[in-house]
Structures are given as structure tokens and as C-alpha cells.
Structure 1
Amino acid sequence: MSKDLVLFDFDGTLTTKDTLLDFTQFSLGKGRFVKGMLRLLPSMTGLKLGLIPNWKAKEEYLSHFFGGISLEQFIALGKEYGEKRIPQLIREKALSSIIDYRETGVPMYIVSASSPLWIEHWAEKYDIKVLGTQLDVLEGRITGKIDGKNCYGPEKVKRIQENIQLSDFENIYAYGDSSGDKEMLQLATQCFYKYF
């Protein structure tokens, strides 16, 4: 077993942009995306001003764009997004590091505030496991609510500790690019901020 473990944030770290917004536009088209964003302007403004917590703004966003869509359809959209779009967004230096880690057999995890449902299809090609924000599903449909907590900040560390036996590893390498990755970076033996 490898003595090393690698933890990646996804949005902005491995990718050049936020994938929640990009996935929405990819799935629903630019027209519906722009129209929806105009309707969500009050909550987006509240988020930017710190008046609305991140998770609440995210639930309003998900409810508006994806509330009521079948889980089956959402998974299919995530698979298509992983196939066609994510490869265009991955930073070249990040992909090179991923390939190097994979060749040496180092276990890799993406720990993201985004849903694994649009990351996993791409990630599994590189043997990367995904921990992320779980979406609530009722009677086979996305409700737009978050199941549990938004995988952001301290919650990232909680997910890591719940899913990985950290004592099995001597070296933990973590990569992030924002304040939401701070706790995960502090967990590592070596951390890399905006490295790619």
C-alpha cells in the first residue's frame, strides 16, 4: 500500500472555472441559464455580501435549475458533462500531476463542494475517488436540497476522516485554491495553494 495520499479540491484547483455554473449552462443551455441567473440575482447578491450562507444560496440555485429533474436524467447529464466538457476545463499542469500520481499508485481523492454526480465519470478514468456535496433525492427526483452538509470548509475534513483511514498514510498532499479549502490544507503534511 502507498504511504502517500493525495487530496484535490476540484473547482478552480483542477479546473479553470466553477463547474456548478458551467454544468448548469451545459445541461440547460445559455438562454435558460441567463434567465435563471437573473431570477436568482437577490440570493446571489446576498451570498456575495455575506448575508446568505453558501449552503442556502446553493439550495436556492439547485432548486431553481434542477428541482424536480429525475435522478436518472441528472446522472446522464453528469456523465455527458464528464465526457465532453470537463476535459476542456482541466488545467494542463494538474492533469500532468494526476497522471504522475496514478502511475506510482498513489490513492487520489477529489474533495469538492460540487456534486460527485458531475465529477465522478471523469474522475474514474484516472482512478480518483470523489467526496462531495450530496444532493437530496425524493421518489427518484432531485429536490434541490442538500443531503447533509455542503462539502466546504470544515466539512471537507469531516468527509475525509469519515471515508479515509488517515493513519495509514505517512504523507498527505493537499491541493486547494480558496478559503473553502483551508481546513483540508491544514490537515496535510504538505499543502499546495493555487499550485496549478
Structure 2
Amino acid sequence: MTIYAFDFDGTLTRRDTFLVFARFAKGTSRTFFAIMLMLPLLVMMKLRLYPNWRAKQQLFSLLFRGMPIDQFDETCRRFAVENQNLLRPKGLQTIERAIGEGSKVVVITASIENWVKPFFHDLSGDIRIEGTRIDVRNGKLTGKFLTKNCYGREKLKRIKKLYPARSSYRLIAFGDSKGDSHLLRYADEKHYKPFRH
């Protein structure tokens, strides 16, 4: 069995989608204001003095806490429909080829699953999305993450949980940043910053 594991932001897309989605959902002014409020923590994060996942969760909470999940999911759907140009064509072609060969395909990403899944709506029966999951209570977003931010070692943990019998499959991994390094090292075949030409 062959498993293809793709990072999403920067690998299958032309850029990180978090802020693009935030601007789409909340507008440029509100997104900018939230970033300004978070600026000290974001600087600390860049200096590795504050956890990446915590800064991301706090920014997400500032923007989306209290939003009804139905509204959030519909916004995610519209975002994917209106931003297909974010996807790298060669990345999609590789996914489609892998599915055609009968291989398993997983997109494993630090992005929130809710806005990643709609990008692959037509392939939903053939592709698995493993991303950061959000907490919902009484039909509304709490602003907290239900899982660990799917980044770095967490990506490797997810793959091992999904496919524990390592000797039974060949893993082909695609990534573009240090957040993918553990997954790339674990793979039988690795592709760093693919689909760019």
C-alpha cells in the first residue's frame, strides 16, 4: 500500500490560508485590529518565547469566538469556492493521480479542518483531511482548539495513529516548512517545496 501525505499551506496552496480566511470572514480592518492586539505575543512567538499553537489559538479566539458553527462552516464553504486559485494545479494533479492509482491520500495540516475540507469537496470520498479541530459548545465556537495544533511532531503522531503498521505501507510526503520536517524524515520518499514550477 502507498500513502501520500500532503501539507496544505504553502505546499498545496500558494500561501498560508489562516489570515486569508480571516480577512475573507471578518474583513481587513477587524483582522488587522486583532493582529495589532496580538502583536506582542506574535513577536514572542517568532522569537520562540511563546508557543506557536497558543498564539494561533488566541488570534483565532479573538476573531471567531461565539460565532455559530453553521455560519462558520458556510463561510468556510464560500471561502473554498471563491479561492480555488490558492491551490497549486500540480499539487491537485498529483492528488488525482494518486487516487487514480488506488493509493491512500491524506492532507495533514495545521490549518483548521473546517476551511480545508471544502477545497476537496469533489474528492471527499477519496481523501482524508487531518488538521486542527475546533471546540464547539451549544452550536457556537468557543475559540479553543479541540486537538493540538497539527504542526511539527503532531503531524507525525497523526500519521502513526492513522497508519500504525509502518512496515505495511510506503509513505510519500510533501511539505514546505519546518512544521513538516518530522513527517518528511519519517517518509520513504520526500518532496520539499514541490509543485512550484
How many residue pairs match? The answer is: 193
User: What percentage of residue pairs aligned between the two structures are identical?
Assistant: 36
Report the equivalent of 2:76.
Answer: 78
Once residues 103 and 82 of structure 2 are traced to their aligned partners in structure 1, the CA distance between those partners, rounded to angstroms, is 26
C-alpha distance in 2 between matches for 1:117 and 1:74? 8
TM-score of the superposed pair, with normalisation by structure 1: 0.92
Match in the other structure for 1:181:
180
Q: What's the CA shift string for 1:7-26, capped at 9, x where partnerless? A: 00000111011111111111
* 2:53 counterpart (52, 55, 70): 55
C-alpha distance 98-49 of structure 1, shift in aligned 2 (>3 A): same
The amino acid of 1:193's aligned partner reads Y
**Distance in structure 1 (CA, Å) of the matches to 2:128 and 2:177:** 21
Aligned match of 2:137: 138
What stretches of structure 2 of length at least 5 have no aligned partner?
none
Q: 2:44 aligned with 1:43, yes or no?
A: no
Per-residue CA deviations over 1:104-147 (Å, capped at 9, x if unaligned) read 22211000011110011122323321001111122221111111
User: How many angstroms apart in 1 are the aligned matches of 2:33 and 2:27?
Assistant: 10
Which amino acid in structure 1 is aligned with residue 97 of structure 2?
D
TM superposition shift of 1:169: 4.3
Alignment CA distance shift 1:192-1:99 (3 Å): same
Structure 1 unaligned spans of 5+: none
Greater shift, 134-143 or 95-104, is seen at 95-104
Query: 1:123 maps to what in 2?
Result: 120
Q: 1:102 aligned to 2:117?
A: no
- In the TM superposition, residue 167 of structure 1 has moved relative to its aligned partner by 3.9
1: CA distance between counterparts of 2:14 and 2:115? 16
Cα distance in 2, alignment partners of residues 181 and 119 from structure 1: 17
Is 1:156 the counterpart of 2:155? The answer is: yes
Instruction: Quote the Cα distance in structure 2 between the aligned partners of 1:184 and 1:77.
Output: 30
Deviations 1:19-49 (A, max 9, x none): 1111111111122222222222112111112
Please state whether the residue corresponding to 1:82 is helix, strand or coil.
helix
Aligned residue for 1:33? 31
* Structure 2 partner of 1:7: 5
What is the rounded CA distance, in whole Å, between the counterparts of 1:76 and 1:166 in structure 2?
Answer: 37
Give the C-alpha shift of residue 168 in structure 1. Answer: 7.4
Contact 1:174-1:192 at 8 Å conserved across structures: yes
- 2:88 corresponds, among 67, 87, 91, to 91
Q: Note if contact 1:11-1:17 (Cα within 8 Å) is conserved in structure 2.
A: yes
Q: How far does the alpha carbon of each residue in 1:146-172 deviate from its partner, in whole angstroms, 9 at most, with x for none?
A: 113111111111112222344474321
Task: Check conservation: 1:8, 1:14, Cα contact below 8 A.
Answer: yes
Aligned-pair CA distance for 1:175: 0.3
C-alpha distance after superposition, 1:52-91 (max 9, x if no partner): 1101101110110011111111111111112111x11111
2:194 aligned residue: 195
CA contact (8 A) 1:83 1:122 kept: yes
